[in-house]
């Protein structure tokens, strides 16, 4: 199902999705390490080699990418939006035994399996980055429909993360990604980041606080600091991953934004060659099909 969107737009969309996977694969090796531990073990960690606490094969990814693919698949199967279809896809993903799953995602998906509830009560304990890391398929499918983007993003988030900070982060980084894919310029992208900080000063990323944990505020600060400090895709993702801690997610999100900025054609060829071939194929196909849905929504 080929997209009729301009070629540059489609290339940037694919760059965002592949960039997400590349950052995930690079960062997974140093997840939960400190910057000092990374320097001692790797110097500057800049190659996709696998390993890490999950002992991944070279080119494999974690839940950041696989849960994104599960969300994308649910959108494609519904040819649009079915929140219960999304929850079912998340449930199937969990029951299949993913290589890893964050505690908040696991709790929310298990709640759905037990009760059918599509969201929990608002909770301070839901302020992790799990809803943020997987939202790219929504961004792609709603590229030309702002209202759908906001509604779908929050609905998918609340299956596992019902928290105002998580909601704000999902919408802000999603808006930044949309702006870059639609070639609205880096200034417009940064404006979304500044809007987030004005609304919620806790997200202030200048000066950079230096924390890269799974707390959504730390994640967003790390991602915004590095994406806006480094124009080059590789240098951006390398710098983010070398902050350690929740490095698979921070590097994945940095890769998403930096990939949307530069497009798939500008991604490092050696990194792409290191990714699992089946994964690259799934991402490429899903991107095209999600953009086709975006075109249909945009005509309504």
The full set of domain ranges for the chain reads 7-299
Q: Name the residue among 81, 286, 256 with its Cα closest to residue 169.
A: 256
CA end-to-end span of the chain? 19
254-to-11, 97, 119, 200, 242 alpha-carbon distances in Å: 17, 26, 27, 21, 12
User: What is d(CA 202, CA 136) in angstroms, rounded to the nearest whole number?
Assistant: 24
At 3, is the pLDDT very low, low, confident or very high (cuts 50, 70, 90)?
very low
CA-based torsion, 117, 121, 122, 126: positive or negative: negative
CATH ID of 7-299, from 1.10.101.10, 2.20.28.160, 1.10.4080.10, 3.30.360.10: 1.10.4080.10
Interval 209-230: pLDDT, tens = 999 999 999 999 999 999 999 9
pTM score of the predicted model: 0.97
- Residue 215 β-bridge partners: 128
Query: Coil, strand or helix: which one is 51?
Result: strand
Summary mean pLDDT of the chain: 97
| Mean pLDDT (whole number) for 37-42 | 97
User: What is d(CA 29, CA 242) in angstroms, rounded to the nearest whole number?
Assistant: 10
CA-based torsion, 108, 119, 80, 256: positive or negative: negative
* Residues 137/71, Cβ–Cβ less than 8 Å: yes
* Residues 16/260, Cβ–Cβ less than 8 Å: yes
Rg (CA), the chain: 17
Q: Name the residue among 71, 161, 166, 160 with its Cα closest to residue 108.
A: 160
At 6, is the pLDDT very low, low, confident or very high (cuts 50, 70, 90)?
confident
Q: Is the pLDDT of residue 94 over 60?
A: yes
| Mean pLDDT (whole number) for 110-118 | 98
At 300, is the pLDDT very low, low, confident or very high (cuts 50, 70, 90)?
confident
Tell me, what's the pLDDT at 191? 97
User: What is d(CA 79, CA 158) in angstroms, rounded to the nearest whole number?
Assistant: 21
Helix, strand counts (H, E) of the chain:
15, 0
Question: At how many degrees (to 10) do helices 216-229 and 233-241 cross?
Answer: 150
Query: Coil, strand or helix: which one is 162?
Result: coil
Q: Is the pLDDT of residue 133 over 90?
A: yes
């Amino acid at each position: 199902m080929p997209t009729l969107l301009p070629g540059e737009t489609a290339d940037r969309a694919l760059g965002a999705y592949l960039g997400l996977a590349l950052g995930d694969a690079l960062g997974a090796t140093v997840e939960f390490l400190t910057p000092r531990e990374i320097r001692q073990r790797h110097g500057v960690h800049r190659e996709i080699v696998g390993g890490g606490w999950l002992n991944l094969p070279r080119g494999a990814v974690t839940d950041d990418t696989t849960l994104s693919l599960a969300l994308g698949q649910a959108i494609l199967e519904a040819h649009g939006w079915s929140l219960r279809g999304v929850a079912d896809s998340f449930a199937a993903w969990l029951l299949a035994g993913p290589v890893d799953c964050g505690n908040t995602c696991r709790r929310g998906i298990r709640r759905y399996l037990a009760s059918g509830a599509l969201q929990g009560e608002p909770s301070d304990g839901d302020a992790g980055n799990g809803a943020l890391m997987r939202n790219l398929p929504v961004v792609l499918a709603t590229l030309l429909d702002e209202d759908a983007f906001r509604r779908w993003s929050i609905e998918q988030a609340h299956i596992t993360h019902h928290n105002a900070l998580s909601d704000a982060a999902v919408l802000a980084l999603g808006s930044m990604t949309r702006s870059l894919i639609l070639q609205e310029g880096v200034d417009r992208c940064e404006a979304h980041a500044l809007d987030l900080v004005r609304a919620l000063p806790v997200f202030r990323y200048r000066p950079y606080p230096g924390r890269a944990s799974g707390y959504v505020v730390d994640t967003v600060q790390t991602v915004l600091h590095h994406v806006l400090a480094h124009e080059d895709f590789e240098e951006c993702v390398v710098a983010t991953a070398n902050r350690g801690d929740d490095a698979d997610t921070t590097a994945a999100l940095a890769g998403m934004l930096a990939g949307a900025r530069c497009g798939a054609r500008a991604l490092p060829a050696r990194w792409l060659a290191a990714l699992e071939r089946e994964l690259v194929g799934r991402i490429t196909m899903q991107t095209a099909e999600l953009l086709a849905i975006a075109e249909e929504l945009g005509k309504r």
